[in-house]
Structure 1
Amino acid sequence: MLTALVRLHDALQAVRLPLDVPEVEARRTTLTQLVDQLEDYVLPRQMSLDAPLLAVVGGSTGAGKSTLVNTLVGRRVTASGLLRPTTRSPVLVHHPDDAQWFGQDRLLPDLVRVDHSTDDRHSLQLVASDTVPAGLAILDAPDVDSVEEDNRRLAAQLLAAGDLWLFVTSAARYSDQVPWEYLKRAAERSTAVAIVLDRTPADAVETVAAHLARMLASRGLKDSPLFTVNEAAIDEEGLLPAREVADVRAWLESLADDSDARSAVVRQTLDGTVRTLARQAHVVADAVAEQVVSLDGLRQSATTAYDDAEEAAVAACSDGSLLRGEVLGRWRELVGTGELLRSLEQRAGRIRDRLVSAVKGTAQQADRVSVALESALELMVLDQAERGATAAYDAWSALDHGKPLLAADPGLGRASTDLRRRAEAEVRAWQATVAELVKAEGPERRTARYLAYGVRGLSVTLIVLALSDAVPTHEEDSGVGAGRGLLEAVYGSELTRDLVSRARADLERRVRALLAGERDRYLGLLEGLAVPDDAAQQVRAAARRVDDRRYEQARPDQDLLT
């Protein structure tokens, strides 16, 4: 059982519920409570079943809890008075011989042990007193309905760490809603509870006690002992007359003296708590599964937005849409009406002078085409990045759990501020790669055609063909046909097709990488939320192991051979 509980603790501790989906706050609270209860009570108690019985004194504001504790102990050990709240830091009173059971590595390990009075909620004051019987410890907790939220949270934590609740109320407060919410939880997980009706006038004790008993029975607590403490004067030490708490003290002492009875209380509360933990762990698993589904939805919407932008950008890399405006004008200047191509078809010896004249203007014209193409490609990438960012931002903005993620980075609605610089670098790198392709195929083809047009001119021509592969070559207006004819005159048709394919593939790779980087701004946020896909399965498996151990313990005489 201990191993199963440790695995459940580890599985729950690994759970993250970062998205603000409906009811997530309640699930986060449940998760915190489960982890805390495992650390504060279940694991320490499972490892130390023989440790003293811990009775946590809790209840309503002004019910007289601290006065009751002081009177049971026989001296002032915890603050009492009219100022509310009186108990801010918990006080644990134990027999001196039981001190070793309450060290820092035992019960409530996150509370620092101190030996003096303090208001620090993160401290646990230990008080050794021989008036408390060995085998019993009494823990004074803050009010469950305190006006201070931290006190309410601490009270819940302490009650969850007890083997027995000594729940204190009064004639004025016994029907209040908040205390009954706690008692309902106690009944659901079979926690041992005793009720103390305190500060009740003698003439009202019988009536109030009868009504309270009926309320307890109707809420599954009919077997819980009910003690009454009459309203009485408090002495100089802040104690009630000993006779007023004699029944409570006698009952606690009987539990301390009877190891079987004490063990029965411990096992009742521990088993009920473990059963409830295993059941609620499935609620947490459901919440984790919902987080995974919601994360997948966010991931899919961002991926779809950028996939659409990426496909549009890749299409623009070959459909000729970039051969417009200034790019088209510069390209036409370079290829003219096909005169250069026709001149290259003449015998080299006869037109050598004309080739020299043509080459003089080709490099400069090619540079102008190159600059125009670079600008067009950069603007296209930026435009598609903006498109993807807008679509992803709108999709996340439509979801309540997506809005907080966007708030963490307002720039997500636009393309990255450094995208233009990166796009410029990639386009230039691509142009350099194309030039290397031309050079690599050039040494064996240093003909008059190659020399006349040069690496620069041939590179620009190859770039234009890669960007306009879907444009029919017979469309004279675009000059694509003239460009293809030029490359085929230099390289041949088969190698020209290969060069165009390689150049276009390299450009597409670079464009996809740029937009993938933009998409990763969104996906990176989701990865940072650290919600493993198998977290829900891990919690469920751990909870089932705990249930299996419980069933085995409930059947100690089972036939191991069957």
Structure 2
Amino acid sequence: MTVTPDHDSRMLTALVQLHDALKAAPLALDVPGAAELRVSRQQLIEQLEDYVLPRQMTVEAPLLAVVGGSTGAGKSTLVNSLVGRRVTAPGLLRPTTRSAVLVHHPDDAQWFGQDRLLPELVRVEQPTDDRHSLQLVASDTLPPGLAILDAPDVDSVEEGNRVLATQLLAAADLWLFVTSAARYSDQVPWEHLKRAAERSTSVAIVLDRTPADAVRTVATHLARMLAARGLKDSPLFTVAEAPVSEEGLLDASVVAEVRAWLVSLAEDPGARSAVVRQTLDGTVRSLARQAHGLADALTLQISAADALREAATTAYAAAEQRAVTAATDGTLLRGEVAARWREFAGTGELLRSLEGRVGLIRDRLVNAVKGSGQQAERVAVAIESAVELMVVDHAEDAATSTAAAWAELGTAGPVLAGADDLGRASGGLRRSVEGEVRAWQQQLTELVKADDGDRRTSRYLAYGARGLAVTLAVVVLADTAPDDHESGAEVGRTLLDAVFGEHSARLVARGRADLERRIGSVLAAERGRALGLLDGLGLDGEAGRQVRSAARRVDDRRYEQSRPGAEPLP
């Protein structure tokens, strides 16, 4: 025997794809209208999860009428009176903080399990103040095929109540909107009714707690307001002001008209199905339309992220260029570095000693370098400190420029709020630079040891590799500088030429390239910290296209269903 599912599997697949596409498409940046769009996106996701997907899977489930409305309109009293016994407690104090209450016939209990309607709300059997719970009440005074859900006030002074009310109304097949003679023209309820009209939600209005002499006047005015807002076909019931029993019930005759209408829907499969399908189809149509707008917003998100990425990249590229320039133009051969270099090289004496023959120069170089390891180390430490401070300064400048550029673009608010230190270099930067400079100086030592193009220099290198490495470092730091007799860098060049001859230029080039590479690596890591914040937003360049494609698939399936001879639904 073949079992026919009670749902359109192709539409269900399209809706699941739309849900997944929306979940994977955060609106993390503050592009124009982002705040409203974030709320809209979340509402779409919740409506798919709370109502559309569960209802699409079980179109034959009982009709869910959500009772909502203004503060003090008498919703809970109306629910109790419709059920015929007290199932929900009216609030004596405003605002009333309690869970939503769903009343159903005992035979319909399987339709309202945790995996069905409103799956994020925990099912409970007792009253609770937890807004994340849904109290289920079985009552045989309701007919099978009908469930009534009492929602918080849509205009509650507590935001949590308002949010829950909106969520519950979005999960309704039918809105039973309750208002009163004193509150029927309030703005907030009409905003909800406007959204109901936009997505063709089935709505019935209950004008409650209305003095008998005002019923005709108020009902007439309310009917005109409904017609003007696209709800002229919505049933309008009046519940006259009447005494409430000790059990919190109105006399059955007072609510008889409303109850009779609800029971007739429950007992007529065709009428019940028409209400469900009208609301479901209107909601699906509205979801798809809004999803197209979100797809456009996602494109703006990517553009905004690209602009932020470019600003950070530009700031750090400029910092790297300045740092590389400062590392080789002689800027660092000042202060402590210059003093320690003079102590080591004995600039004045050494210049005079270089005026003789090359052999004599080499002999005197050995005498100058041998036994000067401590002085060479002092130069190395001074160079390390100078390079470290220079790179950190440029990293700080880049971080400050990036934060300022992002603030000026005006889209990175959520990123800046979660990264208070974006405008400063990272805490571990100094240690990183220190490690890189030490590694660079060690590499220079290895270079002078390995360069043995002229075998005659081997014995000198064996005696003074560290000193020659320091000399090479000084020359690298002044490689692009004009001649500067005060820095003493020309002494270093002369020394290198004397020892390594034609190989000295290659050594300087390799030392400079290694230093520039290490500076670039450190600043790239700093740049990566800023770009990592953007990567962490989860923005995907394909997200907009995927949302749009999913929305089109939903639209296509709706079109297929509307064509003559389309595959019928059960």
- TM-score normalised by the chain length of structure 1: 0.91
8 Å contact from structure 1 (residues 449, 490) kept in 2:
no
Q: Which amino acid aligns with 2:547?
A: V
When residues 263 and 409 of structure 1 are mapped into structure 2, their CA distance, relative to the original with a 3 A threshold, is closer
Which residue of structure 2 aligns with residue 117 of structure 1? 127
Task: Answer yes or no: is 1:345 the counterpart of 2:358.
Answer: yes
Counterpart residue identity of residue 532, structure 2 = G
Cα pair 1:449 1:489 within 8 Å, conserved: no
Q: Which residue does 1:289 correspond to in 2?
A: 299
Q: Does 1:492 align with 2:505?
A: no
Could you tell me which of 66, 70, 74 is aligned with 2:80? 70
**Unaligned residue ranges in structure 2 (runs of 5+):** 1-10
User: Would the alpha carbon gap of residues 116 and 554 (structure 1) be closer, same or farther in structure 2, given more than 3 Å must change?
Assistant: same
**Could you say if the C-alpha distance between residues 242 and 461 of structure 1 is closer, same or farther in structure 2, counting changes exceeding 3 Å?**
same
Aligned partner of 1:178 in structure 2 is: 188
| Matching of residue 90 in structure 1 with residue 100 in structure 2 | yes
Shift in CA distance, 222/482, structure 1 to aligned 2, threshold 3 Å: same
Q: Verify: 1:193 aligned to 2:206, yes or no.
A: no
User: Equivalences for 1:261-276 in 2 at 5 Å?
Assistant: 261-276=271-286
Determine which of 251, 254, 274 is the counterpart of 1:244. Answer: 254
Q: How does 1:523-538 map to 2 (within 5 A)?
A: 523-538=531-546
Aligned match of 1:554: 562
Where do residues 18-167 of structure 1 align in structure 2 (5 Å cutoff)? 18-80=28-90, 82-85=92-95, 88-167=98-177
Shift of 1:20: 4.3
Matching of residue 309 in structure 1 with residue 322 in structure 2: no
Alignment partner, residue 549 of structure 2 = 541
Counterpart contact for 1:445–1:491, Cα < 8 Å: no
- Displacement after TM superposition at 1:426 (Å): 1.5
- Residue 114 and residue 558 in structure 1: after superposition, are their counterparts in 2 closer, same or farther (change >3 A)? closer
Q: Is the 8 A contact 1:340 1:358 kept in 2?
A: no
Separation in 2, partners of 1:324, 1:243: 99
- Distance in 1 of aligned mates of 2:132 and 2:370: 85
- Out of 444, 447, 450, the position equivalent to 1:434 is 444
Contact 2:86 2:248 in 1 (8 A): yes
The one-letter code matched in structure 2 to 1:488 is D
What secondary structure, in the 3-state scheme, does the structure 1 residue paired with 2:433 have? helix
For residue 506 of structure 1, the aligned residue among 506, 511, 514 is: 514
Amino acid paired to 1:260:
G
Task: Provide the C-alpha distance between the structure 2 equivalents of 1:176 and 1:392, rounded to a whole number of angstroms.
Answer: 48
- SS at structure 2 position matched to 1:66: helix
Aligned residues: 554
SS in 2 for 1:108: coil
Counterpart of 2:7? none
Aligned CA distance change for structure 1 residues 295 and 180 (closer, same or farther; 3 Å)? same
Q: 1:10 to 1:448 in 2, by over 3 A?
A: closer
Distance 1:484 1:274, change over 3 A: same
TM-score, normalised by the number of residues in structure 2: 0.89
1:17–1:24 Cα contact (<8 Å) kept = yes
C-alpha change, 1:33 and 1:411, in structure 2 (3 Å) is closer
Deviations 1:325-364 (A, max 9, x none): 443455456254534434452469xx96x56644446555
Structure 2 CA distance for partners of 1:330 and 1:109, relative to 1, 3 Å: closer
> Could you tell me how far apart the structure 2 residues matched to 1:312 and 1:467 are?
14
Distance between the aligned counterparts of 1:424 and 1:86, measured in 2?
62
- Partners of 2:161 and 2:366 in 1: CA distance: 93
Which of 395, 415, 430 is equivalent to 1:420?
430
- Give the C-alpha shift of residue 476 in structure 1: 5.3
Whether the 8 Å contact between 1:79 and 1:87 is mirrored in structure 2 is no
Say if 1:92 and 1:139, in contact at 8 Å, map to a contact too.
yes
Q: 1:115-152 CA distances to partner (integer Å, 9 max, x unpaired)? A: 23333322222222222122111111122112222221
Aligned equivalents of 2:132 and 2:542: distance in 1? Answer: 34
Partner of 2:464: 454
Segments of 5+ residues of structure 1 without an aligned counterpart are none
Q: In the aligned structure 2, how far is the partner of 1:81 from the partner of 1:319? A: 79
* 1:367-393 deviation per Cα after TM superposition (whole angstroms, max 9, x unaligned): 444333333222221221222222223
Question: In the aligned structure 1, how far is the partner of 2:400 from the partner of 2:93?
Answer: 57
Deviations 1:271-307 (A, max 9, x none): 1001111112233333433333333333222222221
Change (3 A) 1:308 1:179: same
**Corresponding position: 1:321 with 2:331:** yes
1:3 partner amino acid: T
CA contact (8 A) 1:80 1:87 kept: no
Q: Tell me whether 11-20 or 499-508 shows the greater mean CA deviation.
A: 11-20
2:530 to 497, 511, 522: 522
Letter in 2 for 1:235: S
In the alignment, what sits opposite 2:213?
203
Worse-superposed segment, 523-532 or 186-195: 523-532
SS at match of 2:233: coil
Aligned mates of 1:397, 1:545 — CA distance in 2: 39
Q: CA deviation at 1:100?
A: 1.1
Assess if the C-alpha contact under 8 Å between 2:206 and 2:236 holds in 1.
yes
Aligned to 2:5: none
TM-superposed deviation, 1:27: 2.0
- Report the AA paired with residue 31 of structure 1: R
Structure 2 CA distance for aligned equivalents of residues 191 and 416 of structure 1: 54
State yes or no: 1:234 paired with 2:247. no
Q: Is 126-135 or 393-402 further displaced after alignment?
A: 393-402
Q: 1:347 and 1:134, CA in 2 relative to 1: closer, same or farther beyond 3 A?
A: closer
